[in-house]
């Protein structure tokens, strides 16, 4: 199965060994990148093959060496920027489809979990094991919040409600960054929100 992406299409495969992945990656004549090679325990291997152009004969490959720990890498398509946003291990990497280069890389304080795109405000939320951060479309960190292991979250209107393993759940207003404990109410932003930039 293919995933349509503008005039290109994408194919994702997994491999049991790095050798298998590298063999297929070596056939990508349109360019190749290998991500996650610094992982201490490389246990799973993924290949994103981008079939370039309408006929798709020229391939651009992105190999990912994953530590996994029960978490599979995530791919967020950003067609408006001609980018792929990849989350894996403890990092987020943006790769340009047209120029086939890394546009930015962000190291996280813990293992990557998920992406969530917001329309208002227009942010990309990056969830990791003990917190989250907000990015703009260029990869600039706007703010970050860390507390405890995140177990679940939900968005209700302008509020991101987060349930933690041991800490009290919170409601984070995405417009003004004020935080309210869900078992008690207070109206001042908590210092753990750090504006970046």
Q: Is 18 helix (H, G, I), strand (E, B) or coil?
A: helix
**Whole-number pLDDT of residue 142:** 94
Structure tokens at 182: 């869900």
Output DSSP code: residue 1: -
CATH of the domain at 143: 2.40.10
Q: Are 114 and 103 contained in the same domain?
A: no
Question: 58 has which bridge partners?
Answer: 52
Number of domains in the chain: 2
Q: Name the residue among 14, 15, 49, 18 with its Cα closest to residue 31.
A: 49
**Whole-number pLDDT of residue 104:** 96
Q: 77, 107, 137: which is the final residue of a domain?
A: 107
**Whole-number pLDDT of residue 197:** 47
List of the chain residues with pLDDT < 50: 184-197
Q: Are 59 and 101 contained in the same domain?
A: yes
Q: What is the pTM of this model?
A: 0.85
Residue range(s) defining the domain that contains residue 154: 110-197
Q: Are 149 and 101 contained in the same domain?
A: no
Q: Are 132 and 103 contained in the same domain?
A: no
């Amino acid at each position: 199965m293919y995933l349509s992406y503008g005039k290109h299409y994408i194919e994702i495969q997994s491999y049991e060994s790095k050798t298998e992945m590298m063999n297929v990656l070596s056939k990508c004549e349109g360019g190749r990148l290998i991500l996650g090679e610094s992982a201490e325990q490389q246990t799973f291997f993924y290949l994103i093959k981008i079939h370039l152009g309408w006929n798709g004969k020229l391939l651009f490959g992105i190999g990912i060496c994953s530590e996994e720990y029960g978490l599979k890498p995530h791919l967020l398509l950003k067609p408006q920027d001609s980018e792929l946003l990849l989350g894996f291990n403890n990092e987020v990497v943006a790769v340009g489809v047209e120029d086939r280069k890394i546009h930015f890389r962000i190291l996280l304080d813990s293992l990557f979990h998920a992406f969530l795109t917001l329309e208002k405000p227009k942010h990309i939320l990056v969830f990791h094991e003990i917190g989250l951060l907000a990015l703009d479309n260029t990869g600039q960190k706007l703010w970050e919040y860390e507390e405890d292991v995140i177990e679940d979250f939900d968005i209700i209107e302008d509020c991101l409600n987060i349930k933690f393993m041991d800490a009290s759940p919170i409601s984070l207003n995405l417009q003004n960054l004020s935080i309210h404990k869900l078992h008690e109410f207070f109206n001042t932003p908590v210092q753990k929100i750090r504006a970046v930039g």
